[in-house]
Structure 1
Amino acid sequence: MRTDVLHAVRLAKLDLTLVFRNTTVLFTVLLLPLLMAWLFTQTQGEATIEGAPAGLFVLTGVPGLIMGFAVFVNLVNSLTARREELVLKRLRGGQPSAAAVLAGSALGALALFLGQVVLLGVWIRRTEGALPANVPLMLLAAVLGVAVFGLLAAACSGLTPNAEMAQITVLPVLLLMMIGSPVAFPSNALSGPLGTISGLLPVTPVVKIMRSAFLGADHYTGSGRALSALEQWTGALPSFGILIGWVAVTALLAKWLFRWEPRHG
Structure 2
Amino acid sequence: MKTDVLHAVRLARLDLTLVGRNTTVLFNVLLLPLLMAWMFTQTQNGMDVAGVPGQLYVLTGVPGLMLGFAVFINLVNSFTARREELVLKRLRGGQPSAPAVLGGAALGALALYLGQVALLAIWMRKSDGLLPANVPMLVAAAALGVVLFGLLAAAFSGITPNAELAQITVLPVILVMMIGAPVVFPTDALPGPLGVISGLLPVTPVVEIMRTAFLGTDHISGGGEALSMAGQWMAALPSFGLLLAWIAVAALLARWLFRWEPRHG
Band of TM-score, shorter chain: over 0.9
* Structure 2 residue aligned with 1:248: 248
Counterpart of 1:133, as a letter, is A
Deviation readout 1:224-256 (Å, 9 max, x if unpaired): 111111110001011001110011100000000
* Structure 2 residue aligned with 1:195: 195
Deviation readout 1:137-174 (Å, 9 max, x if unpaired): 01110111111100000000000000000000000100
Cα deviation, residue 191, structure 1: 3.1
Cα deviation, residue 93, structure 1: 0.3
Question: RMSD across aligned C-alpha pairs, in angstroms?
Answer: 0.8
* Structure 2 residue aligned with 1:185: 185
Which TM-score applies when normalising by structure 2? 0.99
Q: Distance in 2 between matches of 1:42 and 1:48?
A: 13
Describe how 1:1-265 pairs up with structure 2 within 5 A.
Answer: 1-264=1-264
Contiguous gaps of at least 5 residues in structure 1: none
Counterpart of 1:191, as a letter, is P
State percent identity of aligned pairs: 75
Q: Distance in 2 between matches of 1:96 and 1:8?
A: 8
Q: Distance in 2 between matches of 1:165 and 1:87?
A: 18
Aligned positions, number: 265
Cα deviation, residue 110, structure 1: 0.5
Deviation readout 1:88-146 (Å, 9 max, x if unpaired): 00000000000100000000000100010001100010011111000000111011111
Q: Contact 1:158–1:258 (CA<8 Å) still a contact in 2?
A: yes
Q: Distance in 2 between matches of 1:110 and 1:45?
A: 33
SS in structure 1 of the partner of residue 89 of structure 2: helix
Q: Contact 2:161–2:263 (CA<8 Å) still a contact in 1?
A: yes
Q: Contact 1:51–1:225 (CA<8 Å) still a contact in 2?
A: no
Q: Distance in 1 between matches of 2:225 and 2:242?
A: 23
Q: Distance in 2 between matches of 1:228 and 1:192?
A: 32
Counterpart of 1:79, as a letter, is F
Q: Contact 1:51–1:223 (CA<8 Å) still a contact in 2?
A: no
Cα deviation, residue 187, structure 1: 2.6
Counterpart of 2:117, as a letter, is V
Which TM-score applies when normalising by structure 1? 0.99
SS in structure 2 of the partner of residue 260 of structure 1: coil
SS in structure 2 of the partner of residue 188 of structure 1: helix
Deviation readout 1:22-77 (Å, 9 max, x if unpaired): 11101100011000000000110111111110000000001011111000000000
Counterpart of 2:49, as a letter, is I
Counterpart of 1:8, as a letter, is A
Contiguous gaps of at least 5 residues in structure 2: none
Q: Distance in 1 between matches of 2:50 and 2:224?
A: 5
Q: Distance in 2 between matches of 1:61 and 1:42?
A: 15
Cα deviation, residue 208, structure 1: 0.3
Counterpart of 1:119, as a letter, is L
Counterpart of 2:255, as a letter, is K
Q: Distance in 2 between matches of 1:30 and 1:133?
A: 24
Q: Contact 2:187–2:196 (CA<8 Å) still a contact in 1?
A: no
Q: Distance in 2 between matches of 1:186 and 1:204?
A: 10
